């Protein structure tokens, strides 16, 4: 009874609704749509898009944050070429990328293949590999610093008991020759689990029949890995390489926690330089110019990815 009543009421109400013209209805629909995007869009424009545009403008200004802003033209650009710290930072960022990307890639692929089959406790192992990625960087960097403490850390203790001469023990983060390696090792350790997950997803997409056919032909696991798994995963590998490259150009947190860019400038990277020029030297225009370099690199990598994925599709 009551439900019939309400149905009727609804029908009556709808019939009584004033008829809107097409244009009116369309305008009303647009307003509704804008009301949906407004909360996010306003925040996004004010706190992301605005600052991005400001960063471009600031790159052509002189400013210390207090005195009046001055037009700088290309001064900041020319300063890049004379700034030895910038050159070191750019070089170190490239070195970091060139070593950390292939290492992480190989490790993530290897672990994903190991954990793809039927294995007891598979979920436990996957979780264990993944946990460093979600763990807070500050906490794990402290452990890392202690484990790799040159004087009394367990890592050097183990090397010592294995017969490495005390004078040859690496100084890790405190040693100009090993600082970058320490940071790279840490990065690989921390990110491996994340890329393993992407590879596991990629492995799920390889048709079983390929392996069955290879079995019939008498291929061994090594041959199957190189002839089927690796080529079939090529799109995943490409995708992973791009993300990793972009990520490693943005490396900062772990360097801040482990080496602070030192010793000397041996682990100074682009973002660290931006941070220093911004919040230590307060050379805001120049900091933005360095940020532009970072932006251009990331943009280039992204555009290359875009081109390639479009071609392969």
Partner 1 sequence: MSTTADTAATVRRPTRPRRRRIKPGRLALYAGILVITAIMVLPFIWMLSASLKLDREVFAFPIQWIPEAPRWQNFVDIWQMIPLATFVYNTAKITVIVTLLQLFTSSFAAYAFAKLDFPYRNVLFLGYIATIAVPWHVYMLPQFLMMREFGLNNTHMALIFLQAFTAFGVFLMRQFYMSIPDELCEAARIDGMSEYQIWWRIMLPLSKPALSTLCIFTFVATWNDFLGPMIYLTETELKTIQIGLRMFISEYSTEYGLIMAASVVSLIPVLIVFLSLQRFFVEGIASTGLKG
Judged by CB under 8 A, how many residues of this single chain contact partner 1?
A: 90
- Could you tell me where the DSSP H helices lie in the chain? 2-16, 22-44, 50-58, 75-82, 84-114, 122-134, 137-147, 154-161, 179-204, 208-216, 221-224, 230-232, 234-249, 253-258, 270-275, 284-312
Choice between 49 and 230, CB closer to partner 1:
49
Residue with tokens 């004087």: 151
37 binds partner 1 (CB under 8 A): yes
List 62's β-bridge partners, or say none: 70
25 binds partner 1 (CB under 8 A): no
Choice between 138 and 230, CB closer to partner 1:
138
List 284's β-bridge partners, or say none: none
Closest approach of partner 1 to the CB of residue 201, in Å:
4
Q: Which of residues 260-299 bind partner 1 (CB under 8 A)?
A: 271, 274-275, 278-279, 284, 287-288, 291-292, 294-295, 298-299
Alpha-carbon distance of 302 to 305, in angstroms, equals: 5
Alpha-carbon distance of 287 to 281, in angstroms, equals: 9
**Torsion angle, CA of 135/138/139/145, rounded to 10 degrees?**
120
Closest approach of partner 1 to the CB of residue 193, in Å:
7
300 binds partner 1 (CB under 8 A): no
Q: Which of residues 184-243 bind partner 1 (CB under 8 A)?
A: 189, 192-194, 197-198, 200-201, 221, 239-240, 243
Choice between 145 and 266, CB closer to partner 1:
145
Tokens of 119: 């294995």
Q: Residue 141 — φ and ψ, nearest 5°?
A: -65, -35
Task: Single out the residue of 12, 135, 213, 234 in contact with partner 1 (rule: CB under 8 A).
Answer: 135
Task: Single out the residue of 228, 250, 263, 276 in contact with partner 1 (rule: CB under 8 A).
Answer: 250
Query: Of 48-56, 71-79, 91-99, 166-174, which part binds partner 1 (CB under 8 A)?
Result: 48-56
Choice between 91 and 306, CB closer to partner 1:
306
126 binds partner 1 (CB under 8 A): yes
């Amino acid at each position: 009874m009551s439900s019939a009543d309400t149905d009727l009421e609804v029908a009556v109400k709808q019939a009584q609704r004033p008829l809107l013209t097409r244009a009116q209805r369309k305008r009303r629909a647009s307003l509704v749509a804008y009301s949906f995007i407004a909360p996010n869009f306003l925040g996004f424009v004010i706190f992301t898009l605005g600052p991005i545009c400001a960063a471009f403008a600031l790159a052509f200004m002189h400013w210390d944050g207090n005195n009046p802003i001055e037009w700088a033209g290309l001064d900041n650009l020319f300063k890049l070429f004379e700034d030895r710290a910038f050159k070191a930072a750019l070089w170190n960022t490239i070195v970091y990328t060139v070593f950390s990307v292939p290492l992480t890639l190989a490790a993530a692929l290897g672990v994903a293949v190991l954990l793809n089959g039927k294995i007891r406790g598979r979920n436990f192992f996957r979780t264990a590999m993944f946990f460093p990625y979600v763990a807070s960087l500050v906490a794990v960097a402290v452990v890392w610093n202690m484990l790799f403490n040159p004087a009394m850390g367990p890592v050097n203790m183990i090397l010592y008991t294995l017969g490495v001469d005390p004078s040859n023990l690496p100084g890790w983060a405190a040693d100009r020759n090993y600082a970058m390696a320490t940071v790279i090792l840490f990065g690989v350790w921390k990110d491996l689990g994340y890329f393993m997950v992407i590879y596991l997803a990629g492995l799920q997409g390889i048709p079983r029949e390929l392996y069955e056919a290879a079995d019939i032909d008498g291929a061994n696991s090594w041959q199957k890995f190189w002839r089927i798994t690796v080529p079939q995963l090529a799109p995943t590998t490409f995708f992973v390489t791009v993300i990793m490259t972009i990520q490693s150009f943005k490396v900062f947190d772990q360097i801040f926690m482990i080496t602070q860019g030192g010793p000397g400038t041996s682990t100074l990277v682009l973002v660290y330089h931006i941070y220093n020029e911004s919040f230590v030297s307060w050379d805001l225009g120049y900091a933005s110019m360095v940020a532009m370099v970072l932006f251009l690199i990331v943009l280039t990598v992204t555009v290359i990815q875009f081109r390639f994925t479009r071609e392969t599709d």
